[in-house]
Every structure is written in C-alpha cells, then in structure tokens.
Amino acid sequence: MNKPKMATEKGVPSNSRVLMLLGQLERMNGEAMGRDVETARQVTAKILHLIQTQEKSGKEVMSKGSTGMEVILASLESSRDVQTTLNILYILTELLTVGRGRRAGVFVSKGGTGILFQILISASKELPPSEELMLQLHSLLAKVGPKDRKFGVKARLSGALNVTVNLLKQNLQNTKLLLPCLQVLRVYSTNSVNAISLGKNGVVELMFKVVAPYSKKNTSLLKVALDALGALLKSKTNARRAVDGGHVSILLALYLDWHRNDTRHRHMLIRKGLLVCLRNITNIKLGRKAFIDADGMRVLYNSSTECLPVRTLDPLINTSSLIMRKCFPKNRLPLPTIKSAFHYQLPHVPAAGPVAQLYSQPPGGRKTHQLCNKPLKKVDDVVDESDNEETDADTENDTENEEDEKDQHTANDDIETDLNKLHPKKNPGRPFEELRVYERFFVELSEDFQGFNFDCSKSASTTSSSTFCSSSASTQSSRPIIVPTAQALSPKRDPISSPLGGCNPTKGTHTLPSPSAPTPTPPAPLVPLELDTIHLDKDQDKQEKANIPSPDTHSTLSSLSRPPQGQVIAQELVKVLEGVSLEEEVFLSAEDGGKKGVKQEGSPVNTTRHIQSPLLLGGIPALRVGGGGSNWGSDCGSEGAEDEGAEGAVLEVPDTALLLPLHDPDIYVEMVKGTLSVPQYAEVAYPDYFGHVAPTFREPLLERVYGVQRSKIFQDIERLIHPNDILDKVVYDLDIPSCPLIEDNGESLKFNSQFESGNLRKVIQVRKHEYDLVLNSDINSNHYHQWFYFEVSGMRVGTMYRFNIINCEKSNSQFNYGMQVLMYSVQEAISGRPRWVRTGTDICYYKNNFARSSIAAGGQKGKSYYTMTFSTNFSHKDDVCYFAYHYPYTYSTLKMHLSKLEALRTPHIYLRQDVLCETLGGNKCPLLTITAMPESNSNDHICQFRNRPLIFLSARVHPGETNASWVMKGTLEFLMGTSPLAASLRDAYIFKIVPMLNPDGVINGNHRCSLSGEDLNRQWQNPNPELHPTIYHTKSLLQYLAHIQRAPLVFCDYHGHSRKKNVFMYGCSVKETVWQSNISATSSDLQEDLGYRALPKILSQIAPAFSMASCSFVVERSKESTARVVVWREIGVQRSYTMESTLCGCDQGKYKGLQIGTRELEEMGAQFCVALLRLKRLTGLRNHQHLLDLESDIIGPQSKVVSSSTTTYVLEEDEPSFLEAIDYSAESNDEDAEPDNEHRIEVHENTDHLDPPSDSDINHRD
C-alpha cells in the first residue's frame, strides 16, 4: 500500500515528540517493520508512554489535519510482531477511550475495523492464539463496533464471527477474556443475519450457560451476556430456539431469584436485561404461550407489585407491564357482532367500499331489518382466523408503540403533487337546466319587495318558507314520546309499535316493527295514536294548540287532552312503580304540587316550572319522570296498575328562560315528535329537556397523576390472575332490544342510552364498582366508536366508580392530555344548576387486549382496541346522571333553536328557513338564509340587497363533533342579534347556512357516518342523491351559484377535532402545498392571491381560542373529496375552509390551560362573524397590498405547515397527525430508544403540552 506521509496541523509544533516518533514509525512501515522488530517495539512503546502520560500527545495525534491515525493503522497492518501489535492496540485503546465517540468515528472512517478483523483472523490461526492479543482486539472491537454501521457485515464476511464464537466456547471459565468477547458478540447480534447465524452455531444455548442466578461476582459480565442474549432473541428463529429449549421458565426463575435477592436494587440493569430477553421471546406466539404456561403473568405481576413503591424501579415495572399486556390473551369484544346493534336497510347498496363489504358478509347477523338479537356467525367477524397461524405479521417488531398505527410512509406522501389538481378549475359539473330547480332557494336574489310594507312588523315573504320546524314537529310521527326519559316497557306491550315506523315509504326506507312482535303487523289493540290528537295546553285558560307553544317559559303545563282510546292504551301499557326516584326532592303530592318551588342559594336559576307526573304524551305515561332512579324496581316484563302515590306528582323544572333564551322544554318535546330515528326512540334525555347553562367557573385541564395509566393496566391484568374476583355480569345490552336493562337486586348501576343521540351498546359489571362499557358502531358500519352519551342511575353517594369504554379505535386521545368527560346531574339541574360539567379522575387512554377485526380495521391485521377509563363519584343519592363525550347537541335541539330564532326576528332581519331535502331517514335538512332587509323597495336598495356577497356555512357533517353545532349556534345567535356589528354584517352579506349536514347520524348516535355507513365528508366529489342527499343538494346549491356567477366569498365547514387543542383552520393553497412537497413548479404555477390567509389571520387576532400556528393550507390527496377541497377546486372559492374546534381545550392565549366549554365555542362562532365583517372592510379595498405581509407568515416558522399523515381507512380524518408526545407508559418496544423512555415520558406527563417538535420529529411522526 502507499505509505501515508506524516502531516502536521498548523499550530502544532513540528518538533513535537509524539509527532517525531510517529514520523519515525512511518518511515519503518512495510518491510522495515518486519526486519527491525526491536526498534518498532521501542518506538511504539514510547508513543504509548507519551499518550498515557501527556493528554496533549493524544490530541496532537487526533487533531484535524494530522495523519497520525493513518500512520498507526498502517503500522498495525504491516506489523508481524505480537508485542508491536499489542503496543499499537494499547495506543489505539488509549486514543479511543476519550473523545465522546468522535475519535472512534475517525478510526472507522480510516478503515480501522477491517484491519482489526484481519489481525483477529491471523491471530486465530496461531496455536494457541495469544490470549492478550485476543483480549485487546476484542476490547477495541467492542469500542468501535457501535460506530461502524457495517460492523456486522464486515465481521460475517471476514470470518471474525466464528473466531469470536470459538473463543467464547473455549473460555467460558475465563472471565477476563469472556467479557470483551461478549461485548463484541453484543454488537454482532444487532445485525439480524448475524443473529440467525449465531443461533445456528449454538450461541443462544451458550448464553444460557453464562447467565447465572444471583451473585455479587461478575455482575458486569452477566449484564453484557444478557444484553447479547436479548439482541439474539430479537430474531424469531432464536426466540423459537429458546422456547424449544425450555428457557422461558429458566429466565423467569432467574428473574425471580435476582428480584428476591437484590434487595438494595444495585443490579437493576441485570434484572432489566432478563426482562428484555423475555420481552423479545414473547414477540412470537410460541413464546407467549410458553410464558403463560410457565405462570409468567403471576411471577411478573407479583414482582412488579412489590417494585411499585420504589420509583427508581419504574423501568422494570414498565417492561414487565409491556410483557404482561402482550401475553394477555387477545379477546373478542363481548358482542354477537361488531356491526351496529341497529340495522337500516339501504335503498341500494354501493357497488364497492366498506358498506358493500358489510352487506356481502355471510348472513347471520343480518337476517331481518328488525332490532334482532343477532346470533354468533360461523364466520366470525371479530377476530381474524389468521390469528391462529404463525404469520409474518407476528414479527419481532410487534411493537405497542403508536407509530405502528400508520403506514411506513414519509410525511409528504399524502401531499397532492399533481399541479393540474392543485389549480382550482371552476367546473360546475352539471348542466344549468338541471341546476335551475335550485333557484327557489335563492328567492332573495330576485326578490323585489314591491308588495312589502316596510312599516309593517314582519314580512310574509320572509316567513312563507319558514315552516320547517313546525311542520316537522306536527307531522310524520305517530310515535308516543315519553318525557323525560323512561326505561323500556313490557316486551309484550312496547310503545314502539308503529308499523310505518315514521319513515317515508316513498324514499324506499324500511319498516321497523316492535322487536317483540313475531311479524311486522302489531296486535290490533296497539293502534298508535296520531300526534295530532294530542294537545299541549300552555295554560288552563288558553285554547288548545297542536302547533308549537308560544315561548312563555314561566307557565305551567297543567293538563293534557287525549281521546278515550288513548286512555285505554295508556292503561294497557302502564307499569308498576315500586317507588319513584328523586322522590323526596322532586315529587310532591297533588295538593301542594303547584305551590312548592326549589330555590338554592347561589343558583343561577331561581324560578321553577311545574310539570305533572306522569307526563302523558302520545297516550303513554312517563313511567320514570326521574329517569332511571334506583328505586323504580319493576321488571321488564312486569305489568299492572300505576302506583297511585305517583299520580299527580309534580316535577319541578328549573326555569332557564332568562339564561337560555333559545331553550324551551315544551318546544323541545314538540320537536322530538317530528324526529325520526332508526331505533324509534320514545324517550327524551333530561339534559336536552332541561337545557344547559354554561358554568361560570373555570374548568382547567386535568393534571395527570403520576403512574395512573400503569395502575389501571395492572388492574386489568389482575383480571387474568384473579379471575374469581371478576363478576362479569351484563347489566345493559342493546342486543336484547325488548329489555336492554337487566334487572338485579339493586347492587348494580342502571344504564340507558335509548334517546336521541344516545350511544351505549352494552355494559358489563366486572367488579363491584367497575364497569366495562361497549359503544355502538355507526349504523351500516362496523367501526367508528368514539361518541358516547348515556344515562346512569342507582348510584351510591361517596362511592368511587370506574368506567372503562373498551372499544375505542383512535391510537391516541386528548383524554391523555387533560380532557375530561362531561356529566349532567338531574339533581343539580332541579336545584337550579342545569349544566354539563367536566368530571372524572384517573383518566387515561391506552391499548387493551380486545382484538379488532381486520374487516373493521381496513384490512390491517393484529390491531387492538383502546380503553378510555375514568373514575367518578356522585354527590346525590338517587340521582340520575348523564355522561357524554362532548356537550350534546341533538337534531331536535337544532329545530328548537331555529324555532326560537324565528320568534326573535325583528323587522329589519331577512330570515328564511327552507327544507333543503329529506335525509335517508326521512328527516328534514334545514337551510337558512339570513341577511338584512333592504331599507326600501327603491331600485338602489333592492340592487344593493341582491348584490351582497354570499357567505356559505355548514356544520355537523360528523355527528360526534357536537362542538361544531355549538360554534354554529354562536354564529346564528350573533347573526340574529340586535348589535350594530350584527346589523352591519347582515347589511354586508347574504348568509346561506346548512346548520346540520348529517341529521340522521346525529339522531342515531353515530360518531362519523350517516345512515349509509359512509363518511359524508368524503362524498363531495361524487355524491349520490339517494345515499348522500344532504351533500348532493348542498353541492348543487354551490354549483348553481357558480353557474350564475355568484360563488360565495367564503365557504366554511365547521368541524370538531379530537386530537389537537385550540381552534384553527384548514384552507387550500397551491403555493404552500408545493413548498411542502418535492415537486418543481414555475413561478407562474405559484401565482396566488394571498387572500386565503386573511380570515384565519383576523381570527387569530380577535378570537382568544384561535391558533394561527395550528392552521394548515396544504392540499392532501386523502382530503380531495372533502367539502373544503371540492368547493375550492370545483366551485372556485378561494376562501374555502374547514374550521376545527378542539374537544379538549387550549394551550395558548386567554384560555390556556382550560378545557373548552359551550360559552367559548359560542363565542368562537360569534367571533367568526366579526372576522367576516373585518374581511369585508379588507376586501372592499381594491388594492390587496395589506395582504402582502402575510407572505412572511407563510414562510415564517410560526406557521410552518405540517402535512397530514397518510390516513387509514378506519381513522381517516380532516386533521394532521397528533403532534403532542404520546404517553404510552410500558408500551414502547423501540430498541433504539432508552430502555426506560416510558418512565421518562410519564414523569412529564402532567404537562398538558410540550414544546413544538422539530421538523425531523414531525416527519417521523407523520
């Protein structure tokens, strides 16, 4: 080889002693080294002495520009003398011991690793090999191995692998040599091919000879051996070898021995090493079975429990927890089928997609369209059959970390890169002849007001179409309504017996007979009452009305007329009441019922309304005016006369009229009558009836208690270890529709979800005060479990109850970051505090042992459900409480609010309510038009009126995002308000608003879909008029506007966001999309008006909950069929947005550290209106120079855009990936991470937000 010439760096004296010696060594390289052995020894010994005694000598050799390392390596390669070679190895060891790894990197880059392997091979051929030489070589290899990425490959190709293995076998008792050999073996084993090769050579068995029971000797040797063994066992082949050799029980015995004897916890790393070996073996099914058979669950559970008091042992507890959870047998959800408990037959099934797949499954769970108790099928749709086979899906990378939830793509994979698709193209898509029918929804564009008297109080022209609420409330339904909530009646005499089911037969909908009836034809005596035979009197002296009652909220509902036939049916269906809940507090005798009111000091509400109990609507008595109180004890099948003691009792309802101008319980009941649900709900939930007054106190984000998740997981593991302690008692089951509430001796809570927007399918009592809850999937779907809304009663005061929702699907949740569930107490409401409050302690969200079907997981196998657990206690005896994912907002609530808004209209407001279309379920989809009346019918005023720009708003396409409706409520109230700003806004724009795009989903308690089983916000590209009528007709409105050159100035779709904080927007920008991708584009391609940033920028300045930093204007492929992108691309609306509101709270601004409430959400809706007014002033300026400062915002780090992750079929969302650190203690299986990274995360877990991640972090996570 060419001899390197000694070079010196500037500043290093050329007469430096070490450099002179290196120069001398350099001249000796080659043959001279072999001839003059003694000189070579002396020179290398002197260099060694200098480096050992003078720190500067080492620095001189390793300094930049110096060729000292090349000279040393060249000498090492050409040396044939053992002592000279040892001297050089000593020199290298000294040099590489300091320098934080940089020097080792230099050594590797100069080819040092190869030379060491070469010498190792040569030395092994000497018989016997020099022990000292082997010791030094392996010590050095152990140092440089981790710095050389190709170390394993070089070792295998050079044959060094076998040399080390043979040396190990021959020196098992020689601890001095054994240690460096094991250190090198540890590095070798990180290469998977090497690990398999070593396993074939018997190294796994060899390692088990090295690892030993507790001893104070050779602990460092044992630690290295366990590390090497752990690395070897990452290979599935080696893991099987260990299982076949019976080593699982050996590892457990060793771990137990070290656990018992290491009382002072000095050898935690050895204990951790043993656990890592077990963890890697249990990555295969064979290993998990062996672990269970060896009673590993009990061993690790008991040892971990003993470690809990010692904080420093958390890494052991977390790894043990990971192993136990992995080995916990995968269970099916305790359901007959994962399809929804409710079935709705579609008029026609789509040709392809998840719904088609659902309908194509073998029959068994879908025999009829009744609410039948579906039997288990032969072809199980819960657990993959492939679970029983050893497949590649069961790799050693069977990580429980959340990164496995997404495809292994880079962050930019989902960004649209087709420039043709990125440029908006106004393409109305349909001929104008087809769209002309939508002209009737735009009367204001041609209205001349010639017959209008501007002195008159109200205009007939503006109210002619406003019969949406009253018509829907007084027609279409023949179902009795039980108000407030009542539990199911006798299976033989069920009120849900309408043969027409309230559905519109012309829409091809189905018949839903009584669940208990053998045929769709009910018995003759159960002819349903028509609602028009029912009359609600607001006052005794007033005439009876069948329409909406006037909003006189102080009056008493004192009588209710019904025909004699209704009395007969009522008597037939009445049930025995052994007692009435809320008896002392709520029900009064008939004599003094009208006199007593409930007033509590400090209550926001201090007047009451009286409602007689039982309240008979539709001829059916309200059997449980107190909800599911613990004292009403009638069995589902019991019959008999109504308890006389309850006759004429009065329920005192807080009068919330002063605080809730848009709420009226009586109107709400009327609206419920016109609401059509698939299960044909006949009950009203108290919170929807009473209303919600936002609390005046702050509700901070919940601080997370250290170790809470771990303790919950351990309680789950206890179920397997102590099965006799588990009750496993079903207390509520919608799959038994005739009687979902299972009666007992009063030891269990009572549950109910059979009311509008309710969602709870099954409840299993697992311990005395702990319940597993299963949510219902969306109708015509087998997944989307997130929204819940249910009632609980029969509780005891002061008892802590734990609720586990066990079939959540998202990989993470804001419940891990301070969000709490919502609770509504009826006792509190009656005491003058009708409100939802955040509640729950010990809240966490983690992966559980219930397996998800690949059908429901978009074809992905091996997925699990997640548990959301919370604990709470109750303040009142015999209370009725409701729990919800977020503040409920039902379809009937919307109808009531629209009715009240109509009543609030002043002569200066132009308000029109149209019915845009009927939904699949036969419900009406309202369309609102709001603007200001023209000042007069003069041409100028009429022209100004017609030419106002349009703003198009929509909300609630996803039923579970109830916060979107609260924001919309704020917008509507502001628009109908009397403030000068509201008047200016109405003068400036014409508002077209679809406040609820998915009424059916909202009514039936869906989280994501409509009755078609599809996400409506993925249907905008090609909506089907039958399956997606609301989207089809809303898009048609926009297409019509585009045709007549009146496309909206702003389109905004209100949404809720489950995994981020604050309120923010998604928009569409060619420029920002190109910047986030790698596509090349010319400057002409990037020509773009920056006006799309104006509205979010204004909002960030005026709305405290709004965060500009969270906004994104990137167009993703997975979002191309959403409203935002389609309206931008096809209708040509530059300002097309999705506005996302957090379900959790804020981490910036005025509301930082607080959970969001309805007050803040409504404020956001109002602030959106104010921002539109400011936008008007900006866009009124011809010159857009004021927007140029936004360019710096786009490029600036503040608004660095984070692209959306590649979404999976199951959890597709209008959201970028969750960017806050995921706290999954005991769930990381990432070997590159620190072993106890779960511990470190949980230490910081009570901070509700972390520093923004770096770009590389974002790219990794997305």
Catalytic residues, which ones?
1140
DSSP code per residue over 340-401? -SS----SS--SSSHHHHHHHSPSSS-SSSS---PPPPSS-SSS-GGGGS--TTS-TT---S
SS3 926: strand
C-alpha span between 151 and 584 (Å, rounded): 80
Q: Tell me, what amino acid is at 833? A: R
C-alpha span between 1005 and 91 (Å, rounded): 74
Is the Cβ–Cβ distance between 64 and 103 less than 8 Å? no
Give strand ranges (E) for 64-178: none
DSSP code per residue over 577-625? -S--TTHHHH---TTTTTT-----TT-S---EEEEEES--BTTB--TTT
Q: What is the DSSP-derived secondary structure letter of residue 1130?
A: I
C-alpha span between 279 and 318 (Å, rounded): 11
C-alpha span between 674 and 812 (Å, rounded): 38
> CB 84: neighbour CB atoms within 10 A?
26
User: Two tokens at 153?
Assistant: 């490959």
Which of 1214, 1022, 1190 has the alpha carbon at shortest distance from 1136? 1214
SS (H, E, C) 289-350: HHHHHCCHHHHHHHHHHHHCCCHHHHHHHHHHHHHHHHHCCCECCCCCCCCCCCCCCCCCCC
C-alpha span between 96 and 72 (Å, rounded): 13
Is the Cβ–Cβ distance between 1134 and 424 less than 8 Å? yes
User: Two tokens at 1079?
Assistant: 């596509």
Which of 971, 976, 841, 816 has the alpha carbon at shortest distance from 908? 976
C-alpha span between 997 and 1055 (Å, rounded): 11
Q: Tell me, what amino acid is at 242? A: A
User: Two tokens at 897?
Assistant: 């609010």
> CB 446: neighbour CB atoms within 10 A?
9
C-alpha span between 1177 and 989 (Å, rounded): 12
Strands 950-955 and 1050-1057: parallel
SS (H, E, C) 153-174: HHHHHHCHHHHHHHHHHHCCCC
Which of 605, 571, 1119 has the alpha carbon at shortest distance from 829? 605
Cα distances from 258 to residues 214, 217, 219, 262, in angstroms, run: 5, 13, 11, 6
Is the Cβ–Cβ distance between 815 and 844 less than 8 Å? yes
SS (H, E, C) 830-864: HCCCCCEEEECEEEEEEEEEEECCCCCCCCCCCCE
SS (H, E, C) 410-450: CHHHHECCCHHHHCCCCCCCCCHHHHHHHHHHHHHHCCCCC
C-alpha span between 971 and 1050 (Å, rounded): 14
Angle at 1053 between CA 1051 and CA 1056, to 5 degrees: 155
SS3 1066: strand
C-alpha span between 582 and 630 (Å, rounded): 9
Which element (helix H / strand E) includes 97?
A: helix 82-97
